[in-house]
Amino acid sequence: MSAPTDWGHRFARLGPAFYTELPPTPLPAPHWIAHSRPLARELGLDEEWLRSEEALHTFSGNRVLPGMRPLASVYSGHQFGHWAGQLGDGRALFLGELPTAHPDTAHARWEIQLKGAGRTPYSRMGDGRAVLRSSIREFLASEAMHALGVPTTRALCLTGSTAKVQRETVETAAVVTRAAPNFIRFGHFEHFSHRGQHTELRALADFVIDHFYPECRHTDGNPYAQLLQAVAHRTAELVAHWQAVGFCHGVMNTDNMSVLGLTLDYGPFQFMDGFDPHHVCNHSDTQGRYAYARQPNVAYWNLFCLGQALLPLMDDQQQALDALEPYKTEFPAALQRRMNAKLGLSNHEDNDPALTEALMQALARERVDMTIFFRRLSHAAATLPARTSEPAPALDSVRDLFVQHSAIDAWLPRWQARLQRQLNFSASTTAQQMLRTNPHLVLRNHLGETVIQHAQQGDFAPLHRLQHALQTPYDALPDHDDLADSPPNWAQHIAISCSS
């Protein structure tokens, strides 16, 4: 049984302008809550050690292992459309970088971070802690998103403590150990740009290119403009994933945007239940700035901020605008690709966007549950006839999701005819592909709330059961159907804010 010793410090080599070194603040009487075995394996960690007392103390901030070099990084950002000035890792501590099984790639090493490990010079008014409730949500969501195939930071383990933390009420503290190739945000670039620290700005951009986007130097042209374009491309893919699975981030501030196009900082996020394009999951977002349907445009707004920040490294403003231009076509193309896959369409036709739009309008009109709709549609696809326009009997289960069957009755034959036009259409192959694209299970708010309530009473079994099922979201596990049911009525009244 052995602790990891090969801690890398590539980020630390950027120099002290980028961070403050400090140890975590110990948390009294820590206990284990959960581990991610899939991530432990990817990091090649000794699983026996990962469940040891030493690991418990390490990942709750009570022990610094030989080779670690804890630090908090500094960044700034735009919050809710306004320049917020300096922010930084107010409660996250970076421990070092562990090697992965992919040595010659951008994933050669992953940064390991503790979230909730105490105050830092960037804590401002905060206490440097994270509460159990929000830590459970971040832990589960990180690993659930990964299992869905959505780019995300990961979560290795979760520890709890009896230490009291004051939010709206008194709660207890917890620490999530996060992992990602890096945690660099748009806000890191904005920080140095805004202060006129162009040497640091260039060093940071070179760091990101050298380690994560080496292709930006392979062709002629300004590498920083290419970096911007590459980040925009990844962001387009990310947001297309979010929209297709009904995920609302909730706080798309520039300090929560990953330069690698990962889902980052799980706060008041939500997987939508009933489909509503205007849905706002963050109770603190009174203007609806980060409503579901606005996410693609907000991502562009954030990329524009990143472009502004990188201007000192580019020839002129036009170069930044040109680098962002492809986003405007890449995002809709990426989304349509995902929607086509959800509908079982293996090729592209000009009318596909109109077909998708008609469906989403029908879902929105009655707030039909998005996850359940696409799952039932996938099962129904298996029974579609190869040619005739006869309605498949299994489509009744889809129609039954609508109070007014007429709301979907015009759309279903259009979809059926569209599928039948595909070369060598096979109902069973189509259904299989759709079942691998449309999840059976997503981390709905009420599922999170239920396991949180048990965890707050010291019972972690429901959390582990949910975690297990979320690892295979496209499979309906036996005896787990309750997790995929429509949400109970009380789910509508869950209000999740920035408080965490």
Q: Is 256 in the site for Mg ion (CB under 5 A)?
A: yes
What dihedral do alpha carbons 180, 6, 160, 270 form, nearest 10°?
A: 10
Q: Which two tokens stand for residue 31?
A: 């206990």
Quick one: which of 85, 126, 214, 385 contacts ligand AMP (CB under 6 A)?
126
- Catalytic residue check, 255: yes
| Closer Cβ to ligand AMP, 12 or 251, answer by number | 251
Which is nearer to Mg ion, 118 or 223 (by Cβ)? 118
The CB-side HSE value for 185 (13 A sphere, CA atoms) comes to 26
Instruction: Please list every residue from 254 through 283 that binds ligand AMP, using CB under 6 A.
Output: 256, 265, 267
Query: Is 20 among the residues that bind ligand AMP (CB under 6 A)?
Result: no
- The angle subtended at Cα 257 by Cα 41 and Cα 109, nearest 5°, is 30
Supply the minimum distance, in Å, between the C-beta of residue 129 and ligand AMP.
6
Four-point Cα dihedral 26, 27, 29, 30, nearest 10: -110
3-class DSSP string for 321-333: HHHHCCHHHHHHH
**Which residue, chain included where needed, has tokens 């581990």?**
35
Q: In whole angstroms, what is the distance from residue 438 CA to residue 323 CA?
A: 33
> Rule CB under 6 A: is residue 129 a binding residue for ligand AMP?
yes
Among residues 173 and 313, whose Cβ is nearest to ligand AMP?
173
Tell me: does residue 237 bind Mg ion (CB under 5 A): no
Catalytic residue selected from 89, 255, 285, 369: 255
DSSP for 373-429 reads: HHHHHHHHHTT--SS--PPPTTHHHHHTT-SSTHHHHTHHHHHHHHHHTSTT--HHH
Residue 59 DSSP one-character state: T
Q: Using CB distances below 5 to 8 A depending on partner kind, what does residue 126 bind out of Mg ion, ligand AMP, none?
A: ligand AMP
State yes or no: residue 498 binds ligand AMP (CB under 6 A).
Answer: yes
Indicate the length of the chain as a whole number: 500
Give whichever of 432 and 499 is closer to ligand AMP, judged by the CB atom: 499
Give CA separation, 457 vs 101, 172, 259, 263, 454, in Å: 38, 11, 38, 30, 5
CB of 500 to ligand AMP, least distance (A): 6
- Cα dist from 69 to 62, 72, 92, 97, 111, whole Å: 14, 10, 13, 10, 11
Query: Which of 325, 431, 449, 328 has its CA nearest to residue 382?
Result: 431
Choosing from 111, 143, 190, 265, the residue that interacts with Mg ion (CB under 5 A) is 265
Q: Which does 385 bind (CB under 5 to 8 A by kind): Mg ion, ligand AMP, none?
A: none
Contact partner at residue 26 from Mg ion, ligand AMP, none, CB < 5 to 8 Å by partner kind:
none
The candidate with the shortest Cα–Cα distance to 29, out of 3, 57, 49, is 57
Residues 274-303 that bind Mg ion (CB under 5 A): none
Task: Report, in Å, the least distance between residue 89 CB and ligand AMP.
Answer: 6
For residue 128, state whether it binds ligand AMP (rule: CB under 6 A): yes
Q: Interface with Mg ion by CB under 5 A: which range of 131-139, 250-258, 310-318, 346-354? A: 250-258
Selection from Mg ion, ligand AMP, none that 123 binds (CB < 5 to 8 A by kind) is ligand AMP
Among 90, 99, 277, 462, binds ligand AMP (CB under 6 A): 90
Contact between 123 and ligand AMP by CB under 6 A: the answer reads yes
Residues contributing to the site for ligand AMP (CB under 6 A):
87-91, 122-123, 126-129, 251, 256, 265, 267, 498
Active site residues: 255
